[in-house]
Structure 1
C-alpha cells in the first residue's frame, strides 16, 4: 500500500507541467488580467516588483529555508503556512500542494498571493517587497509594455 502511494506521488510529480520564466511585460498582462492591478490598493507595478525580487519571474524556483520549509514559485510562497509539502503540520491556508506553485500556470500562485495580501501586512508579508518596492517609484516595471 505504501509503495502504491509513493508510486502515485512520483508519477504526479513527473507528469506536472514544467515551470516557466515569464517576461516582464508578459507577466504584467497575466497579472492585470487576473485583477491584481489595484487589488487591496496595490498597483500592478507593486506586484511585478515583488515577483521580480522574489523569483526573477521564475515559476519553478524553490528556495530551501533554514527552518526546513520551502518557498515556492513566482511569488515564493512558503510551505510553513500556505501550501502542503507533507513535512509540516501547519495549516495549508491556500489549500494547494506546494508543487502546484511550480508550474507554468500561475493561476494557483495568484489566488494564494491574493489571500496572503488580504492579511494585515498586505504585500509587506514579502520582505523583498518591503525592502525593494515599497514607497519607490516603480513605473519602470511597465516601460514599453503594451497593456
Structure 2
C-alpha cells in the first residue's frame, strides 16, 4: 500500500507542478512572443515586450504583486486585477474575461492575449510604469540579441 500511495503522490505532484509558474529564458520568451505575433504589434518591437516582461516579473509567470488598493498584478506582464482579470476580491471589470490565476501558469497564451488587449488602449505600453521607466525611448537591441527571431 505504501508504494501505491507514493506513486499517487508523485503523480499528483507532477499534475500540480504542471500548472505552476515558469521562469522563461530571454530567448525562449522571445520565440514565444514572436510566434504569437507580438513583434511589431501596435508599433512595439519584440525588444519592448521583453524589456517590459523582465522589469515587471524577471520573466517569471508566477509573480504576484499586492498593491496598496488591494488589487494584484499577475503573471509575466503583471496584469492588474482591478481592470483586467477576476480575483473575486475586488469589484473587477475583468476586461480580459479570465481569472487572475490563469495568468500565473507556465502557459502564457492568455497573458499574451490580455497584454495585446491592454496595449490597444490609448496609453499603449505606457500603461506599464516599468516600461515607461526602463524601456521607453531606449536602445533595446540587447533584449533580442542572439535570439534568432
TM-score by length of 2: 0.87
Q: 1:45 aligns with which of 31, 44, 47?
A: 47
State the secondary structure of the residue aligned to 2:27: helix
Task: List structure 1 segments (4+ residues) > 3 angstroms apart after TM superposition.
Answer: none
Q: Secondary structure at the match of 2:65?
A: strand
Aligned residues: 134
1:27 aligns with 2:29: yes
Secondary structure of the residue aligned to 1:124 is helix
Report how far residue 16 of structure 1 moved.
Answer: 6.9
Aligned residue for 2:97, secondary structure, equals: coil
Distance (whole Å) between structure 1 residues aligned to residue 37 and residue 145 of structure 2: 20
Distance 1:16 1:67 in 2: 31
What value does the CA root-mean-square deviation take over the aligned residues?
A: 1.1
Aligned counterparts of 1:54 and 1:95: Cα–Cα separation in 2: 22
Q: In structure 2, how many angstroms separate the alpha carbons of the residues matched to 1:50 and 1:146?
A: 20
Shift of 1:142: 1.0
Alignment equivalent of 1:79, drawn from 78, 81, 86: 81
Which is higher, the Rg of structure 1 or of structure 2?
2
In the aligned structure 1, how far is the partner of 2:88 from the partner of 2:38? 30
User: Equivalences for 1:1-147 in 2 at 5 Å?
Assistant: 17-147=19-149
Hey, what's the Cα distance between the residues in 2 that align with 1:138 and 1:70? 28
Provide TM-score, normalisation by structure 1. Answer: 0.89
Partner of 1:6: none
**Separation in 2, partners of 1:99, 1:133:** 27
Structure 1 position 90, deviation (Å): 2.5
